[in-house]
Amino acid sequence: MNFPAHQGSGPSKRCRTISTVYLNGDYVPIEEAKVSVNDRGFLFADAIYEATPIYAGTPFLLERHLARTADGLHAIAIEYDVEGLRSVCAELITRNDLVEAEFAVFYYQITRGAAPRTHAFPKDPVAPTVYAFAKTLRRMTPTEWDRGFAAITVPDQRWGRANIKTTGLLPNVLAQQAAVEAGVEDAIFVREGMVLEGTHNNVFAVIAGTLVTAPATHRILHGVTRAFVLELAAELDIGVEERPFSLPELYAADEVFFTGTTTEVRPTVTVDGDRIASGQPGPVARALYAKYVERVGRPND
């Protein structure tokens, strides 16, 4: 596969540790950032989080990520104006020397705040806790992409509102650890025999020549990259169906790949130890990834 010149060829030489983070209105060295033990994010995972990719110092699809955050905050009744996060993102990019970094991420989470522990919301108003950082990421090399990646399937044990991007990710953590112990990169959630999504990304399959992905219901996260890739598919005249599909359909698919903020478009060539089709990344994934790489090279929304 021919990648544009800016595509990484190995671990980024610019990879560095986080130096400065944002916490409740202040920019502080990461080692000085402290959160109360009474914070409801710590006690209950009572919080929303988000991650936005950054290419060459510019956040990609930031408007969509902020909109998803606002929807999530509304869903769990945390009052916070996400517009201020634009300047936080820009400041963290500058303070952490990411202006020229090929690939980075802006992460933030907003909790209900600190209050004495009780399950119900605090009776007296408390300020949300807002934490954010930005750091470099390692991008796939062309060799890695061409070789493809592997996944296992796991039962979906998450709560019934996977569409809300909360920090309550224990089922995702356990599923991803199962993938690590199996020696693969990803785990795919399956519920009642139907394929849903990955632990931190959305999953697509090419079935009988059509690109298929689970519908955007309460069962999956409504991925920003997922939606963008669907738009790219339309531009490339690739037929798409957003519908439930089964585990046997996944195994028999012509192609399987994941999409996500840190995943971008990543091909999967084995699932549960069995080869998908030829065992090589397929033409649909190749076309979509080439288009994706082209677009992030000019990252205005």
Q: What is the mean pLDDT of the chain?
A: 94
Task: Answer yes or no: do 123 and 156 share one domain.
Answer: no
Any domain includes 268: yes
Total number of domains in the chain: 2
Q: For residue range 41-50, list pLDDT tens digits in order.
A: 999 999 999 9
CA distance 51 to 28: 20
4 or 119, greater pLDDT: 119
Q: Is 165 a catalytic residue?
A: yes
Domain encompassing residue 76: 20-136
Point out the domain boundary residue: 118, 136, 154.
136
Q: Amino acid identity, residue 104?
A: A
Instruction: Encode pLDDT of 151-202 as tens digits.
Output: 999 999 999 999 999 999 999 999 999 999 999 999 999 999 999 999 999 9
Distances from the Cα of 88 to the Cα of 12, 31, 225, angstroms: 24, 19, 22
Phi, psi for residue 111 in degrees, rounded to 5: -105, 170
Same domain, 147 and 33: no
Residue 161 shares a structural domain with residue 198? yes
Looking at the fold, whether 78 and 162 belong to one and the same domain comes out as no
How far the first Cα of the chain sits from its last, in Å, is 26
Question: Is 199 found in the same domain as 272?
Answer: yes
Clarify whether residues 90 and 58 are in a common domain.
yes
Do 266 and 154 reside in the same domain of the chain? Answer: yes
Q: Is there a contact between 106 and 86 (Cβ–Cβ < 8 Å)?
A: no
pLDDT at 18 over 70: yes
**275 in the same domain as 219:** yes
Question: 170 and 46, same structural domain?
Answer: no
| Residues 233-244, mean pLDDT to the nearest whole number | 98
| Both tokens assigned to 298 | 């000019």
Last residue of a domain, one of 136, 168, 203: 136
Model's pTM, two decimal places?
A: 0.92
3-state SS class at 195: strand
Q: Which of 13, 34, 135, 165 is catalytic?
A: 165
pLDDT digits (tens, 9 = 90+) for 94-107: 999 999 999 999 99
